[in-house]
Chain A
Amino acid sequence: MTAAALLEHYSKLKEEALKKKEQEQKQPLIMVGTASCGIAAGALEVKEAFLKEIKKHKLQASVQEVGCMGYCYAEPIAIISKPGFPPLCYGNVDEGLVKLLVQSFLIEDDPCYEYALVALEPNDIFPTFSDFPRGVYEHKIIMEHCGFIDPEEIDHYLVHDGYAALAKVLSQKPEEIIEIIKSAKLRGRGGAGFPAGIKWEACRKAAGEEKYVICNADEGDPGAFMDRSILESNPHQVIEGLAICAYAVGASQGYFYIRAEYPLAVKRVQKALQQAREKGFLGKNIMGSGFNLEIEIFQGSGAFVCGESSALVSSMEGKMGLPRHRPPRLTSSGYRGKPTVINNVKTFSYVPAIIRKGADWFKSIGTEDSPGTAVFTLVGKVKNKGLVEVPMGTTLRQLIFDVGEGPPDDKQFKAVQIGGPSGGCLPESALDIPIDFDSLKEAGAIMGSGGLVVLDEDDCMVAIARYFLEFTQQESCGKCTFCRLGTKHILDILTDITRGEGTMESLQILQELAEDVKDGSLCNLGKTAPNPVLTTLKYFKDEYLAHIMEKRCPALMCKEITLYYILPEKCTKLCNVCVGSCPTEAIFTREDGIKVIDQGKCVKCDNCRKTCPPEHDAVVKLSPAILPEEGGEKK
């Protein structure tokens, strides 16, 4: 089919979508962010409240559900788009604010600036994203429409040139498309950064007619959720990328492998697939081009290791999710033994934009060897938590201190953990390295799936390493010796250290074993599992030594070597809050009225320290766990 005919077909569909949008824009439109994060914060109640108020006042306005724009710290979020005003975004919306906004803004034309976060279009009455430090660094490609379009409405995607890239490629040769992706140097965003174009080419060239493409949405990193957010906020973008890949490699069957713990993502992708079929973007003879493609969803069953591509395929075949030795690569022997391309949600998401705007445009963003943007889940001890998309090459410092605005409560930054269980902890001194696949790897961390957790002075680095090892140890498939038993012994040694039972000898064994597990394991789960240990040993050895030599946890986090103590000189004697707050009744009142903790009963739940009124601030943690002598002086 000719390019012109395809374009015509596509233009008609887009035309319809635009008309519909115009119609919508004639009246006020309220968009409520209802990705999982929003729903958890109460977005559905907010939506109901808007509907109720609008009905009560008999207004002409519509309410829509949109995805997540990444400002999770301000959820629930609502965007109000009223003719005559720029679309305005409001955070921390509750029922009261809904009432106010409907009354003042919708009825009386007062946009309540005092509650607005930001305006979404350039205007002369209210600041937009680019007026904030965060907006200066952010560069949105794959999150551009997340949070601004209704993920369950394909026309919203069409309005923003959705499926235009698919229409474009269907008149081109598959090899040309692979060339574009190769020349754009698009690297896989699922962890390892393998060039997508080269993978596609290998699959295209592999022998056989039957081929498969799979979108890896297993996202098992315990601190990351951007893939979920993208699927919940703009599923069509991923579908389009996957369809283009299928066409390029010559596959007529595609799959989404989605974690079963992501029910909303499953539902939205399902709906999106349905709509794409109805519009003729999927199915037989797509847009009259003769290209056929079906896409189905496979729900993962909760095993982190199934994110590893050979384990993923094995689980789709109805077996245990065990990784296997490679070669053979999946591009020659994958699902059902056929050539298969597996890419991450984000990798596919970049594809439509690259096709529409060209490889050179993509390469103009980011760095030479890692073009494009990086998407992170920015959590932990930062003020602005949420999803961020910044160009590759942005430094960690910019990301944490400018975009995230650093740790709250004037706490001291200590480290940043990147890449989840396969990644590492980097200290302050490494903050000026640019974010890209190679620089992070060099520093001992990895880009990984994009989880980025900021740690401050209250976080113990040994405990953090232990946390990740506990995770990988539980998630190891158990197939190979190093990972099954090696991670267990690493974990045991770390546990001993956090309890003050470590020795210098065990520290030596820890180092050796971590290196061997890295070199000896079968798959990347085992090969990367020691990274949290190796990086903390490299950058924070003093904390390990404090635990071992002094039985002291510098961050006062390790319970076994920390105790809770009420400072007699600070306790007012008059209030009783701590006594009531203790779940084990460990706090009693001494004859002189001062509260004392019975160390035998204390479970170190932190309740008393939290409840002690700030003006007294009498409860403290002490490490090593030695009680000060009577009279307030230390032993």
Chain B
Amino acid sequence: MELLKGEKEAILKHTKEIFQEFEAKRENLIPILQEVQKRLGYLPRLAMQKIAEFLGIPPVDVFALATFYNQFRLNPPGKNEIKVCMGTACYMVGGKIALESFERRLNIKEGQTTPDREYSLERVACVGCCTLAPVVVVNEQIEGKVSPTRVDGIILSLQGEKSKEGEEANEDTKEKLKGEKQ
């Protein structure tokens, strides 16, 4: 994947900062990966290389961990992260139905991100709110008792936010244009 302009600089800056917080010990590999992902949203190839250099281990060893653990992603997530609970309690009362509804509406499969990078869809195991099953976590916010109709509602409200943002962005560009004209 090609890095966008400025992304390379951001990666180098963040990794450098993070390395100052940690001793260069293999034991710190997972905490470092977690911190990198927290800041960048995913683990870019360049960051993994830098981490390997920092710890003095082969890059393939860093890659091994990045691909082993569920938490880590190698691609940037969508702007809106939707996680459908597939814990036992949720599964039993329609978690799968909710997941399928999202898949249908967003036209992606679980584990994927929409091509416009707006939404990513994942499954998670019990988030600890079984009494509200089926549960969906939308951008860290927990939604309980999610029926297929509610799925539509959730997506509509996210789209609503987006178009609002869009308007704001338009305003911004208008402002800028004005500025340029002046």
Contact = CB atoms under 8 A, between A and B. Distances in A.
Interface of A: 36-37, 39-41, 72-73, 75, 220-225, 228-229, 260-262, 298-299, 301-304, 315-321, 377, 379-381, 385-386, 417, 420, 451, 453, 455, 459, 464, 467, 471, 477, 581, 583-584, 603, 605-607, 610
Among A261, A298, A303, the one with the most B-chain Cβ atoms within 10 Å of its Cβ is A261
A384 to B, nearest CB: 10
Nearest to A74: B131
Q: Which 6 A-B pairs have the closest CB atoms?
A: A223-B88, A302-B70, A318-B29, A301-B69, A222-B125, A225-B128
Secondary structure of the B contact surface, majority rule: helix
B86 A222 contact: yes
A303 B88 contact: no
A229 B125 contact: no
B94 A606 contact: yes
A477 B64 CA distance: 12
Contact of A223 (B89, B94, B101): B89
B104 A319 contact: no
Interface in B126-145: 126-133, 135, 142, 144
Contacts of B26: 317-319
A406 to B, nearest CB: 16
Contacts of B59: none
B158 interface: no
Interface residues of B, number: 46
Contact of A224 (B31, B126, B144): B126
B152 interface: yes
B101 A605 contact: yes
Nearest to A377: B130
B124 A261 contact: yes
Contacts of A379: 88-89, 130-131, 133
A471 B144 CA distance: 22
Nearest to A264: B128
B34 interface: yes
Given A72-B131, A471-B125, 9 more contacts: A39-B142, A40-B127, A40-B128, A224-B126, A299-B30, A319-B26, A455-B92, A583-B101, A603-B100
A606 B69 contact: no
Contact of B135 (A40, A229, A261, A381): A40
B88 A380 contact: yes
A298 B34 CA distance: 11
B27 A386 contact: no
A73 B132 CA distance: 8
Among B71, B128, B131, B142, the one with the most A-chain Cβ atoms within 10 Å of its Cβ is B128
Nearest to B26: A318
B132 A315 contact: no
B28 interface: yes
A72 B30 contact: no
A315 B148 CA distance: 38
Given A320-B65, A603-B100, A606-B97, A467 B27 contact: no
Contact of B89 (A262, A316, A380, A606): A380
Contacts of A220: 125
A317 B27 contact: yes
B110 to A, nearest CB: 11
B104 to A, nearest CB: 7
Contacts of B91: 222, 467
A316 B94 contact: no
27 contacts: A40-B127, A40-B128, A41-B132, A222-B86, A224-B126, A225-B130, A298-B30, A301-B33, A301-B34, A302-B69, A303-B68, A303-B70, A315-B30, A318-B28, A379-B133, A381-B92, A385-B130, A453-B92, A455-B92, A581-B149, A583-B105, A583-B148, A583-B152, A603-B100, A606-B94, A606-B97, A607-B149
